[in-house]
Each structure stands twice: as C-alpha cells, then as structure tokens.
C-alpha cells in the first residue's frame, strides 16, 4: 500500500528551531510539565497513521500554537515565521495525499493528537504555546524519522 511521504527542507526548519530553542525554553515556567513529550503514543504510531498524525500536529501548531504565541523579538519572530510558513507548505503537500486517500485516521491516531490538545488546554494559553514551541524538536524528530526518504537536501 503506497504511503504518503512528503518532501521537506528539514535542514532549514531544524536550523530555525535551534536558533530559538534556548530563548523559548527559558520562558517556559512549567518545566516539570510537558505536552508533546509525554505522548509516548507519538512513538507508537503505526506507519499507516503517520500521515494523519502529521496532518493533525501540523494543524495543532499552525492553528493554535503559533497563533497563541506573541513574540516581540524580530529575530525570534523571523525564525517562528520560517517554521510556520514551512508547516503551511507541508500542509499543502499533505493535502495531495488526502486527495489520494493516503491519509486515513485510525482511532489510535485520533487519540494521540487529542491527548496533546488536552494537555495544551490544561495550561494557560500563553504558557501552553511557549511550552509547545519549546518542544518542537520532539515533533521535528518524529517527522524526520517517519518521512525518512525526504530529509534535508
């Protein structure tokens, strides 16, 4: 069964994240709480569910995290913009997979992403956004691993 594999410039996205990781994580006031990292379920996602979870988590970041985070530093704003627009592009390429019905969502995939939303909702919105931004490397590493044939140019 063909899998949905999307072409990504991961090198540039990871570079952007490395440039903001320390500054963002320093603002995270709830160090003993995690949003993405607790979801061990991310690592138990089956290959067939990768597309759905990728789509759901891209939407999580694009529709919630980046919007809920307010950034004043132009340097950090630039890098968040770079990641946000790259995620937007990835959503478009995933759209093609959806049209070819390669992006089905099993119950486990839906549960995995709902857990992340639940954790997000348990925190005050700015804190939740900061924490999720700081945990982007968890998501990027998962994308890199699961969309193997497409890592950095």
Closest distance to other proteins from the beta carbon of 14 (Å): 12
Run of H or E including 44 = none
Contacts of 136 by beta carbon, 8 Å cutoff, 6+ apart: 17, 21, 61, 83
Residue of 27, 78, 126, 145 that binds other proteins (CB under 8 A): 78
Contact 30, 124 (CB under 8 A): no
Stretch that binds other proteins, among 27-35, 61-69, 94-102, 110-118 (CB under 8 A): 61-69
Crossing angle of helices 136-146 and 125-134, in 10° steps, is 40
Closest distance to other proteins from the beta carbon of 150 (Å): 8
Site string for other proteins, 93-132 (x = CB under 8 A): ----------------------------------------
Contact 7, 108 (CB under 8 A): no
List residues binding other proteins (CB under 8 A). Answer: 7, 9, 11-12, 16, 62-63, 66-67, 74, 77-78, 81-82, 84-89, 92, 153
């Amino acid at each position: 069964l063909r899998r949905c594999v999307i072409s990504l410039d991961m090198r540039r996205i990871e570079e952007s994240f490395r440039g903001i990781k320390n500054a963002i994580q320093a603002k995270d006031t709830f160090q003993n709480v995690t949003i993405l990292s607790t979801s061990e379920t991310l690592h138990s996602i089956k290959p067939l569910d990768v597309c759905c979870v990728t789509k759901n988590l891209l939407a999580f970041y694009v529709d919630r995290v980046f919007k809920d985070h307010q950034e004043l530093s132009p340097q950090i704003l630039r890098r968040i913009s770079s990641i946000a627009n790259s995620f937007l592009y990835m959503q478009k390429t995933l759209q093609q997979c959806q049209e070819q019905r390669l992006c089905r969502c099993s119950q486990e995939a839906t549960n995995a992403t709902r857990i992340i939303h639940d954790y997000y909702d348990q925190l005050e919105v700015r804190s939740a956004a900061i924490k999720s931004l700081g945990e982007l490397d968890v998501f990027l590493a998962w994308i890199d691993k699961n969309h193997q044939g497409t890592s950095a140019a």
